[in-house]
Amino acid sequence: MAAVEIPARGREQIRQLQLERLQVSLNRAYLHVEFYRQRMDELGIQPEEVGTFESLRRFPFTTSRDLSEHYPYGLFAMPLRNIVRLKMTPANEGKPVVVGFTKHDVAMWQQLMVRLYRSLGVNDRDIVQLAFNFSLFPGAYTLMQAAEALGATLAPSATVSATLQLKIMRDFRSTVLATTPAFALHIVSAMERQGIDPADLQLRLVVLGPEPILEAAREHLEVSLGVPVRMLYGVAEMVEPGLAGECLAKDGLHLAEDQFLAEIVHPATGEPVAPGLEGELTLTTLGTEAYPLIRYRTGDITVLHEGPCVCGQTSARIRPILRRTDNRVSVRGISFYPEQIGAILQELDSAIEDFRLLIHLRHGVGERLEVLLTRSRDVAFPSDSRSSYVDLIRSHLRRQLGLGARVQLVEDDRLPMEGLINKTVFRNLSSAYDTP
């Protein structure tokens, strides 16, 4: 199922295409995924009986717990020999989630990203600088391959420092920067320290993903860089990026409706919400071969708009993500759950009694992680000394999360309680407490 040029289709045509592809997706899930076959049999319905969007609501939701419980390949609709790419993403409890992609799936995600690039005016005359850690954000490969498919020039800059990013940007005359919100803010800070005038750069567009960014932070970037800043959206358990993205009009993120069927439901009741009201985004894949998902609850709160965009596209749009329904957090573009860190700490040292995560924010974006923990005084350290113990915790967290963290062993009364949410406290870097 190739990506369709949605801008050329009206709403009725889009809905008809979705219904046709929904039948194919439901049949694939029924025939090749035991989990979905059991669900359909229990409901007493066959895929071909789902002829309307309303009838799809008879299906129960798919949750991240369902995905985790079928680790590693229990939800695959294709044998492993047909899988060309595997991706692992954390779950808020239990085992991680493993997603597979066939050659067809990889090509489709590339087509979707090409479409988003084109909607932003990116073309074969652009020099695209990708400032992502590819090992921590596999979606960067899709950004790279789509840029190559467009004929754009790629500037190599994957994991280098902000200072080197700026040198590459000036020397290579990069016109498009794609990176995470946290690193974009870091680059702007480096520009300010070095006294670099944005007018001396050739940059004309910044593309951000995968985590959302507050509008105030986006405005800060646009003012500091003097160029439009646009956002991409993806779901780690499906595809990121490429699922949705902003156009230059900045009036919501256009959904790839030829590949995904979107619903907005009340996060508590699961019932559909009225048009224009916020709720949880739920998605059904329409063209995925390896990993079909039916009514998957993304945990992202947003608003769906189906009216036309001034850019001319007719696809539905979602607002930038407002918040999460769960306690997933992000630091420097790396997402994780507090429960993950709790499990890592307990596995390493069962004498740990409690912990706190301090996430230091800059313009609302997680930039630094600090882990405070307490442990039983009656149990000896599993290392030579207190300092080597802290080093052991720090290195283990880096290996497990791919993220550096400051680790402190403290007394119980030093664990912060003010603003505590799910073992996590957020602090602004501008406050005196956070001055290094």
Whether residue 3 is predicted with pLDDT greater than 70 in this model: the reply is no
* Dist CA 48 CA 64 (whole Å): 26
* Dist CA 102 CA 109 (whole Å): 11
Q: Write the pLDDT tens digit of every residue in 163-215.
A: 999 999 999 999 999 999 999 999 999 999 999 999 999 999 999 998 889 89
Closest CA to 68 of 38, 101, 98, 39: 98
Residue 314: pLDDT band with limits 50, 70, 90: very high
* Dist CA 100 CA 395 (whole Å): 29
Tell me what pLDDT residue 231 has.
Answer: 96
Residue 4: pLDDT band with limits 50, 70, 90: very low
Q: Domain 1-322, what architecture? A: 3-Layer(aba) Sandwich (3.40)
Q: Tokens 């007719």 belong to which residue? A: 314
Tell me what pLDDT residue 345 has.
Answer: 94
Numbered ranges of CATH 3.30.300.30 in the chain: 329-434
Q: How far is CA 65 from CA 61, 88, 114, 394, 401, in A?
A: 11, 14, 32, 28, 20
Tell me what pLDDT residue 436 has.
Answer: 33
Average pLDDT (215-222) is 95
Q: Write the pLDDT tens digit of every residue in 104-125.
A: 999 999 999 999 999 999 999 9
State percent of the chain over pLDDT 90.
Answer: 77
State percent of the chain over pLDDT 70.
Answer: 97
Numbered ranges of CATH 3.40.50.12780 in the chain: 1-322
What does DSSP assign to residue 273?
A: P
Average pLDDT (90-99) is 85
Mean pLDDT of the residues in the chain: 92
Residues 6+ apart with CB under 8 A from 407: 370, 371, 373, 390, 393, 394, 397
Q: In whole angstroms, what separates CA 332 from the centre of its chain?
A: 12
Residues 6+ apart with CB under 8 A from 372: 355, 356, 358, 408, 410, 414, 415, 416
Q: Write the pLDDT tens digit of every residue in 271-280.
A: 999 989 999 9
Tell me what pLDDT residue 211 has.
Answer: 85
* Dist CA 204 CA 296 (whole Å): 36
CB 25 within 8 A of CB 285: yes
The CATH class for the domain spanning 329-434 reads: alpha beta
Average pLDDT (221-231) is 97
Tell me what pLDDT residue 382 has.
Answer: 86
* Dist CA 109 CA 180 (whole Å): 19
* Dist CA 49 CA 282 (whole Å): 21
* Dist CA 428 CA 418 (whole Å): 14
Q: Write the pLDDT tens digit of every residue in 160-176.
A: 899 999 999 999 999 99
Whether residue 9 is predicted with pLDDT greater than 80 in this model: the reply is no
Element at 36 (helix H, strand E): helix 34-43
Whether residue 94 is predicted with pLDDT greater than 90 in this model: the reply is no
